[in-house]
Amino acid sequence: MPELKVGDSFPSDVVFNYVPYTEEKGDITACGIPTNYDASKGVFSPSHSLIPFCHRSHPHYSSPSSPPRSSQTNHVSSHTTEWANKKVVLFSVPGAFTPGCSARHLPGYINNLAALKAKGVDIVAVIAFNDAWVMSAWGKANGIKGDDILFLSDVETKFSQSLGWTNGERTARYALVIDHGKVTYAEKEPGRDVSVSSAEAVLAKL
């Protein structure tokens, strides 16, 4: 699949990986259970859950033989409806906890979250090449709870590679707006700065 352009339909086979936020696992050291996130449909799929690679002695670890906790297995939220029926802002960063991403890119979306929502955005999501646990911890480290911003793992950079938008083994820095299944904004950074993929640039196009 070539890079997405304005007017294109969002692909039907995009799957990320993430750890759904729960109050029970709200501490940054807590190890939740990753699950596949079907971005094309946005359906939460408990059958695709993965057992976390936490050390068994960790106080927050539940062994596979333990009964599943309802807060993890029955987590259903507003993003379980299809992305095809939503206005979505998706931005990509080269890596969680990296200086540019943590100091300049992500804060813009956090600070402008209310403005994005006021423009009719239903879902704001960030992806990176990091695994789901790292992305979850990055969200917690920035005080994000619930589904205010979804922190998704682009597993093996599969989605970004399909666009040709990678930075070596990492995801590149870019932003997409998907409005009811159609791409209305698609920009990859031409250099190292945060410009066309910033929250401010996206807001100006909504």
Instruction: Specify whether the CB–CB gap between 161 and 92 falls below 8 A.
Output: no
Q: What is the DSSP string of 66-124?
A: SPPPHHHHT---GGGS-GGGSEEEEEE-S-TT-HHIIIIIHHHHHHTHHHHHHTT--EE
Q: Which of 101, 163, 175, 176 is catalytic?
A: 101
Beta bridge partners of 174: 92, 188
For residue 198, which of 115, 119, 117, 104 has the smallest C-alpha distance?
A: 104
Three-class SS of residue 179?
strand
Residue 101 catalytic?
yes
Q: For residue 179, list its beta bridge partners.
A: 87, 182
Instruction: Measure the CA–CA gap between 33 and 56, rounded to whole angstroms.
Output: 14
Tokens read off for 26: 């709200």
Query: Could you list the active site residues?
Result: 101
